[in-house]
Amino acid sequence: MNLFRGLRPLQRADAARGVLAGIVLAAMDIPQVLGYAKIAGMPLVTGLYSLLLPLVAFAAFGSSRYLVVAADSATAAIFASGMSGMKPLAEVGHVALAGVVALLTAGILLMARLLRLGFIADFLSRTVLVGFLAGVGLQVAISVLSEMLGVPVNSRRTVVQLWEVLHGLPRAHLPTLAVSATVLGSVLLLRRVAPKLPGALVAVIAAIAASSTLDFAGHGIATIGPVAGGLPHLSLSGLLILRGMSWEEVELLLTVSISCAVIILTQSAATSRIYAAKHYEQVSENIDLLGLSAANAASALSGGFVVNGSPTQTAMMELAGGQSQLAQVTTAFAVGIVLLFLTGPLQYLPTCVLGVVVFLVALHLIDLKGLREIRGESPQEYALAVMTAAVVLLVGVEQGIVLAMVLSLLRVVRHSYHPHSGVLVADGTGAWKLVPVAPNVATEPGLVLYRFGAALFYANAGRFLEEVSCVVQPMPSAVRWVVVDAEAMTHVDYTASRVVMQLKSDLTHAGIELAFARVPWDLRSDFDRHHLTETIGPARIFNRLHDAISAFEGMASESGENVGETKLDSAIHQVDLFEG
């Protein structure tokens, strides 16, 4: 097995930068995962556990150089809401159930790896991924505003949270607001005057020191409070508990685990793909599935809960300067040091400082430049990106991912349903151009070269019939031959084949020949299977457009029709150029 793909090749020049990035990532990430543990209803220390063995497990078995796999808000919220309805299992204990869910999730992800379900990521276009991350960034940024301002909120819905924050602004806690503003301004200033200095790390250390010295908690500034120390105890209790459960109980846990696994698969694939494309790296979603399975198994083994590929934490790692899984392994080592020796000072960290760090990272997820480029080049795709971001923001991450996949698929279906098509005509400069289908539009008198730019299937067969019928109007038509340029047709299904047969019959009754040119080998097998070859006639299926035009010229000469031979000779020459 090829281990540590995301770390190799490791060059000495990059090692120091990777280690520093890992330390900075630990400083930014430790407070954040404590918050995720709180969302999941778990002891705070389990958030730190998610930055220990799971990071190493994914680094060992995954392929992405950038993806950070640890506690995440989406799966933490799914786990918390799923566990809230499991009162019959309460006697087992919340922490123990978390281990069972993580173990089941690991098994589901391993099965997905064996079934090679990583291809699901292929249905996520870059357009909707940019929108998805923008929505996640806005969602996370709004969620931490209450901590930054000292305004209490009760809802988990993003829009309601924003309303509660705005409504509560007159009651903002001024000392908390002052600390948040100071930290925010300091980090932004450090980015400008000393961009290589880890501003977030400096802010966290300074905030802990100030909080301890000046007794922030005594002045009403909330801190994260005591955090248990020590390394996790490795245990297979989750497996033992699972063996003692009834099928009804396992079924309840499976529901939560499947939900988590779907989110993990799609969100991790979306995040790793974005950063791979950004840095020209290669990733394998199927290999990453194995890494994600190993990370969740490691979390279950070490007393943690479900872990996920996190867009926020991956953005943190990139922002810290990490370029491989060396940063993540270093983070795990740093977290181990914190668990052994430094959990005492951690209790003084103000939650508003945690909010500022997360807020800045969340803003980094919003790719305004990418959105502007999409809007300038493809307004329709820009609308899809904005719609995806809106659903993530207004409804949720899970629904946003599903919408991203559906919209990506609909774009493909739309292009297949409404392909580029038209009539090939000479433009007078020695080149061909594609003009829209319309009555009396012809390549040459009596000849229409019609190009259809997609596979022919049940959904677009009607459009194909409508356009071919249009070019031979009005009836009786001056068109004698319709040659379909089939180079882009990779497939013809049963329904479409019957449409072609009907078209052939109608054109024959009107005295018009139907022919096909440049038929690919795989399309020719579809022609044979659906009996189109015998219906159209082997003599009317040509390898090249040139051959089709020559056959039309020969027919016209035999019949004595005047089809403009000089222009046709020019057209044949241009077809030679067109076909290379």
Taking 60 as the threshold, does the pLDDT of residue 405 lie above it? yes
170 secondary structure, DSSP code = G
What confidence score (pLDDT) does residue 85 get? 56
At 429 the pLDDT is 67
- H/E run at residue 434: strand 432-435
Cβ atoms of residues 452 and 419 within 8 Å? yes
Confidence grade of residue 41 (pLDDT, cut at 50, 70, 90): confident
Question: How open is the CA angle 139-141-145, to the nearest 5 degrees?
Answer: 115
As given in the structure block, the two tokens for residue 24 are 């900075």
> CA-based angle 77:80:82, to the nearest 5?
105
pLDDT digits (tens, 9 = 90+) for 417-464: 888 899 998 776 667 788 999 988 888 889 999 999 999 999 999 999
Rounded average pLDDT over 27-45: 81
Report pLDDT for 398. Answer: 65
Quick check: bond before 474 cis, omega within 30?
yes
DSSP for 510-577, written as a single string: TT-EEEEES--HHHHHHHHHTTHHHHH-GGGEESSHHHHHHHHHHHHHHHT----HHHHHHHHHHHHH
pLDDT at 566 over 50: no
Residue of 548, 552, 574, 547 whose CA lies nearest to 563: 552
Residue 580 pLDDT more than 70?
Answer: no
Give the tens place of pLDDT for each residue, 54-104.
Answer: 999 999 999 999 999 999 877 887 787 677 655 544 445 778 888 889 999
pLDDT (tens digit, 9 = 90+) per residue, 503-562? Answer: 999 999 999 999 999 998 889 999 999 999 999 999 999 988 889 988 998 887 766 555
Pairing of strands 447-452, 421-426: antiparallel
Rounded to two decimals, the pTM is 0.69
The pLDDT assigned to 565 comes to 45
CA distances 563 to 444, 468, 549, 577, Å, are: 7, 20, 12, 22
How many C-beta neighbours within 10 Å does residue 529 have? 12
Q: Is the pLDDT of residue 564 over 70?
A: no
pLDDT for position 559: 65
Q: Are strands 513-517 and 447-452 parallel, antiparallel or unpaired?
A: unpaired
In contact, 564 and 444? CB cutoff 8 Å: yes
State whether the Cα torsion 269-271-277-283 is positive or negative: negative
User: For residues 139 and 136, what is the distance between their CA atoms, to the nearest angstrom?
Assistant: 5
> How many Cα atoms sit within 13 Å of 446 on the Cβ side?
20
For 345-395, the pLDDT digits (tens) are: 888 989 898 788 878 877 877 888 889 999 998 888 888 889 888 888 888
> What pLDDT digit, counting tens, does each position of 495-520 carry?
999 999 999 999 999 999 999 999 98
* C-alpha dihedral, 276 to 281 to 284 to 287, nearest 10°: -100
Distances (CA, A) of 110 to 55, 228, 240, 297: 17, 32, 20, 10
pLDDT at position 165 is 93
The answer to whether 81 and 252 are in contact (CB under 8 A) is no
List of domains in the chain: 14-412 (no CATH), 421-578 (3.30.750.24)
List the structure tokens of 242: 């699972």
CA distances from 214 to 3, 48, 182, 199, 211 (A): 48, 26, 15, 22, 5
Separation of alpha carbons 322 and 512, rounded Å: 66
pLDDT at 290: 94
Q: What angle, rounded to 10 degrees, do the helices at 199-214 and 174-193 form?
A: 150
pLDDT of residue 255: 83
Quote the Cα angle for 352-357-358, to 5°: 95
Q: For 127-153, how does the pLDDT look when each residue is reduced to its tens digit (9 = 90+)? A: 877 887 788 788 888 888 998 999 988
**327-331: average pLDDT:** 93
Cite the DSSP H helix spans in 2-63: 12-39, 44-49, 53-61
Cα gap 508→502, rounded to integer Å: 10
* Nearest alpha-carbon partner for 196 in 83, 321, 9, 285: 321
Residue 308: both structure tokens together:
């996920």
| Contact between residue 517 and residue 484 where contact means Cβ atoms under 8 Å apart | yes
Any residues with CB less than 8 A from the CB of 157 and at least 6 apart, and which? Answer: none
CA-closest candidate to residue 271, choices 404, 103, 377: 404
Instruction: Give the tens place of pLDDT for each residue, 212-241.
Output: 999 999 989 999 888 888 999 888 777 777
| pLDDT (0 to 100) of residue 401 | 67
Q: Over the stretch 180-222, which tens digit does the pLDDT of each residue have?
A: 999 999 989 988 888 777 777 788 889 999 999 999 999 899 9
User: At CA 396, angle to CA 223 and CA 26, rounded to 5?
Assistant: 40
320 neighbors 357 (Cβ within 8 angstroms): no
The pLDDT confidence band at residue 116, using thresholds 50, 70 and 90, is: confident
pLDDT in the model for residue 560: 59
CA atoms within 13 A on the CB side of 521: 0
For residue 55, what are its two tokens?
A: 């990071």
Segment 40-57 shows an average pLDDT of 90
Q: How many CB atoms lie within 10 A of CB 251?
A: 10
Determine the distance from the C-alpha atom of residue 84 to the mean position of all C-alpha atoms in its chain, rounded to a whole number: 29
